Structures are given as structure tokens and as C-alpha cells.
Chains A and B, each alone.
Chain A
Amino acid sequence: MLLQSIFIGLVAVFMVLDSRLLGRLNFERPLITCTIVGLIMGDLKTGLLVGAQMEMVTLGMMIVGAGGIDMNLGSIVGCALVISTGANIETALAIATPMTLLNSLLTTVADLIRLKLCHQCDHYVEAGKYNLAKRVDILYGPITYAVFNFIPVFLAVYFGADLINSILAVVPKFILDGITLGANLISFFGFALLLSTMVNKKNVVFFFLGFVIAAYSGLNLTAVAIISIIFAIVVYQIKYSDSSELQTAGAQVDKLDD
């Protein structure tokens, strides 16, 4: 259990370094991290299911700058505890929520440390010690992230299972079922958040188009995603056909090639 908790803690380090050192490749998302947790704990299937559930709920919670709510860390803990206690997958969200709240306190401490690091950088540059300034950014910065994500996850996974088990033993079944329903309701909050960052009166019709295609045809999301990319390119070409050789959003990438 100790070794396993350490590994789960390292998953949290991997999670946070994705956005720090890999330009946010989405490896930090619950779908990925929970799958890894499942692999570590020898229950890939539950890992995948918790990952899918947590991803769905949190997909809309964009982390732009400092705002928003970050459930990535809570998802890892939730997934690990669901696997070790055998609770149902929606419980992951019920665990992740208080974990997120607790963690925001720790994050504040880490933020203060990094504020200090920023001043340290200024100081080293003024003193002409450029290499030290660089080290502060590329080494000490990520270390603050790694430490402040490893510790809470390790502690929660190592000591949390007993706590969750004793809670599950006393809570009546209708409440647990209700939490399952509630967790799924939160998915719609995620969708709504995502919508609110993109939608306006002019383009809301595309949301309904995607909805109607999926609702009536029963096509899966991969199909809907492909249709929507093609559709976006077609609309773009019709709308901006006369403007230039840069015709599609997708062609922008090819254009960068020369």
C-alpha cells in the first residue's frame, strides 16, 4: 500500500508537470491520469470508467490563467480510493470535490513561494548571475509544483481508504444512489461551462446541430467529432472563400510548414 501510494503520488507529479513542462498536452486530464492509476492498482477497467466519468464532468472547467476550478488532482485521489475501497465509480467525484477544496489552500502556499522565486530571479539578474536565475525558473518552479501535488495525493491515498470505508458503511443506500445521480448532473454543469466560453447568439445554432445529429442518429462521438470538423471547414470556406489562400483553420498548420 505504501509503495502504491507513492506511485499514485508520482502520477500527480506527472499530471502537474504536463502543463508546466509539456505545454499542456492534455496528459493532465482525468481520462489519462485515472487510466494510469488503474494500471498501477491492477484494475484498468475501473480506472477507465472513473476516468471517463471524471473527464466528462470536468471537461468544461477550463483552467485559464488562475481562474476556474481544477479537479485534476482530486480525480487521481478519487480514482485510487474508488479502486481500493470498491465503491461505485461516481463516488470518485464525491471524493474529488472536498479534495479540491482542501488543495486550494495548499496551492495558495505554493503560489506565495513562487512569488518569492519570481523576485529571486530579478535579484539574480541584477547581480549578473544569469545561470542561477535560469535555474530558479526551470528547476525550482517545477519542484514547487511537484512537491505540492505529491504530498496531498500521497497522504489522501495512503490514509483515505479507511476513512472512505467507514463513511460508506454508515451512509444509507438512497444517499449513495442520489450521489451517483448528482455526479451525473454535474456533467451538465461541465457542458454548460464549456458552452458559456464559446457560445453567442450567432453560433448557438451549431450547438443544436450537433445535438440533433447525435440525438436522432445515435452516432457515437467519434463520428460527431469528424462530422463537425468537416462541417467547420466547409462553413469557413463558404464564408471566407474570397479572402485568401489561407482557406481553412486546418490549413493554417500546413501553411506553417514553409
Chain B
Amino acid sequence: MSKKGLEAQRNYPLNKKVKEFFWGGWCMQACWNYERQMNTAFMWGISKTLDRLYPDPKEDEKKKEAYRRSLEFFNITPQCGSFVLGLTAAMEEKYVEKPDTFDPKMISEVKVALMGPLSGVGDSFFQGTVRVIAMSIGISLAKQGSILGPILAMLISFGVSFPITWYGGKLGYLKGQQYLVEISKRNLLDKIMYGCSIAGLMVIGGMVASLVPITTPLAYGKALKLQSILDGILPQMIPLCLTGIMFFLVKKGLKPIFIILSCFVVGIFLNYFGILAI
């Protein structure tokens, strides 16, 4: 086997390679499908690496095999996708370097092994924590009529997403395998998820208390107002209770669309009889 491709790949500037992994990660859902989910996007992300590694038309069978590998089932949080792409590129390189000792099955195995944990930590970090924090800040500003709300929400999301995708790709390519060992040895992903859940949950608590000021107009005469009694016990008690009720319904596994439609009906009822008001 010729080493021409390997040389081309090694001499290609690192930043340009990382750029490929970066866009590969961000475009991870370009052609999402029910059969193998993000497989075609993974192929796109790794394709330039493969093209460089197998420049010779005589190696077409090897190249085809590598492309087939890249089209297997894949799913990941896009921002974590660059790490896997980088790591895969490094392994594909190794396979070209030592075709006799390096088993290409390992490439697929590592991909499969990374999917679950990285999606878990990625989704809870980006969709759970970052999104919740960015949007809660954005909502509270937008409610006051400030365009800073959406702008800040965009900046926060971009400011977190960009560096993680970029350096994730770089790290995956340069020291991916070494980091895999470290991450699993230290249980790092679980720890990060724990930290994220603390911040996320506190913000949700804050949202429940401050975003939707639902009160009750119920009163007995002029002196006895139910709302002021409730406020004396615990401010924002009604929003907390409503969240509790909804949580119970979610846990029961009711269909989202059923809950949404019921809310409208219940809202009309509660409003008509003056039980709750906004």
C-alpha cells in the first residue's frame, strides 16, 4: 500500500483539518433520517480526510470500505460530533499507516461507544443548561421590551457552542484516544452532568417563581383575600403548585398535545369562574 495518501494527510495544515471536523459537527443533522439518523452527515464530515488518505484510484476498494464504515448508524449532539470526527480521522490515519496490526473494526466500535455518553452529556449541557440559562435571561429582558434579550441569548449560545466544537475537534484528532481513557477513568461525564443539572435546576426554579405571575382573585368580602394569605405562607405558591401538578401529569406519561389542549379548556373554565387570573 502506498504511503502517498498518509503523507498528504499529515502535511495538510492542522487548522484546516480541524475546520473540517468543526463544520462536520455543526452540519451533523443536515440529512437526518429514521434509518441511520446522522450517518450521511458523518460521512460528509470525514470524507475529505478519506479522500486525502486514498488518492490512488487503485485503492478504491479500501476507500469504499472506509466510506461504508462512515455510513453506519450515527447519532450525537452536533457540538460533540467534531470530537468523534477528529478521533475517527486519527484512527483512519493509523489504519493506513499500519494496515496489518490495526483492526478497522475498532473505528466503528469507538464510534458506537462514544455515541451514548457524548449525546447524554451534550444534550443535557447544550439543551438543558446552556439553552435554559441563555433563554431565561433573554426572556426576562424581552418581556421588558428590550431587544438585548434575544441578542444576548444568541451571543451566549454561540459563545459556548463555538469553542467547544472547535477545540473538541482538535482534541479528538490530536489526543482523542488518550482522553477517552482519562474521561472514563475519572467518571468525568457524570460529574459534568451533575454540575450542569445543579445550574439548570436552579434557573428553572427561578423561572417558576418569576416568569408567570398567576394569582387568584378569590376573596371573601373585602377583608379576606386568598392571594394575600397565600403570599403570607409562601410567595409564588400558585406557580409552584401548578408546576407540581404538571410534573405529575408529565410523569404519568400523558401526550404533550393532550396536555396543551386541556390547558386551553381548563384556562377558559378557571378564568370564567374567577378562580385564577393572570
Contact = CB atoms under 8 A, between A and B. Distances in A.
Interface of A: 19-27, 29, 31-32, 35, 44-45, 48-49, 51-52, 55-56, 59, 61-66, 68-69, 94, 97, 100-101, 111, 114-115, 117-118, 121-122, 125-126, 128, 130, 133-134, 136-138, 140-142, 144, 174-175, 177-189, 191-199, 203-204, 206-216, 218-222, 224-225, 227-229, 231-233, 235-236, 239-240, 243-244, 246, 248-249, 252-253, 256-257
A141 B41 CA distance: 9
Nearest to A19: B29
Interface string B25-47: 11111111111110111011001
Given A184-B212, A232-B199, A137 B164 contact: no
Contact of B40 (A29, A141, A184, A186): A141
Given A192-B243, A196-B247, A225 B137 contact: yes
A144 B75 CA distance: 20
Contacts of B177: none
Contacts of B75: 65
A213 B206 contact: yes
19 contacts: A44-B147, A48-B149, A56-B139, A56-B211, A114-B32, A115-B34, A138-B41, A141-B32, A174-B268, A179-B268, A188-B208, A188-B245, A194-B132, A204-B201, A210-B204, A221-B210, A243-B191, A256-B168, A257-B167
Q: How large is the interface on B (under 10, 10 to 19, 20 to 34, 35 or more residues)?
A: 35 or more
B209 A214 contact: yes
Contact of A179 (B67, B141, B264): B264
Nearest to A230: B199
Nearest to B48: A134
Considering residues B75, B243, B276, which has the most beta carbons from chain A within 10 angstroms of its beta carbon?
Answer: B243
Contacts of B41: 137-138, 141
Nearest to A64: B123
A31 B142 CA distance: 8
Contacts of A49: 142-143, 145
Contacts of B239: 188
Contacts of B95: none
Contacts, number: 398
B197 A136 contact: no
B14 interface: no
B27 A228 contact: no
B273 to A, nearest CB: 10
A100 B263 CA distance: 16
Considering residues A182, A186, A208, which has the most beta carbons from chain B within 10 angstroms of its beta carbon?
Answer: A182
B218 interface: no
Contacts of A194: 128, 132, 200, 204
A188 B202 contact: no
A152 to B, nearest CB: 17
Contacts of B123: 62, 64
A130 B67 contact: yes
Contacts of B200: 194, 198, 228
Contact of A180 (B126, B135, B211, B278): B278
Interface string B119-161: 0000110111011111111111111011101100110011011
Nearest to B197: A198
Contact of B35 (A23, A56, A118): A118
B81 to A, nearest CB: 8
A87 to B, nearest CB: 15
B264 to A, nearest CB: 4
B270 A181 contact: yes
A206 B30 contact: no
B147 A48 contact: yes
B107 interface: no
Contacts of B1: none
Contacts of A111: 33-34
Contact of A178 (B128, B139, B267): B267
